[in-house]
Amino acid sequence: MANEAMARGLAGTTPNPAHKRSVLVQLTSQGSAVIDALIAHERTLLGQVPGDLTYAEIAACLRVLNCLLDYLGDDDLS
């Protein structure tokens, strides 16, 4: 993912002061703008979910789902 983001100009590298042979990967300003737009779009979509779910409840659900994906593996989701 990092390589793809860098190829698209969404991320870059900077020297890692804690380790001479590795670099740190960070978002570019374009990458930050893309992430901000994605988050805004997700919030808009989540705001349209029927019912009276709060953002805290949705965040808890996402946290649980991510934990399950980590535990079960997501190799078959591609």
Name the CATH architecture for the domain at 2-77: Orthogonal Bundle (1.10)
How many Cα atoms within 13 Å fall on the side-chain side of residue 10? Answer: 13
Q: Which residue ranges make up each domain of the chain? A: 2-77
pTM above 0.85, yes or no: no
Please name the residue ranges forming H helices in the chain: 2-7, 29-47, 55-72
pLDDT, tens digit (0-9, with 9 covering 90-100), for 1-59: 999 999 999 999 999 999 989 999 999 999 999 999 999 998 898 778 888 888 899 88
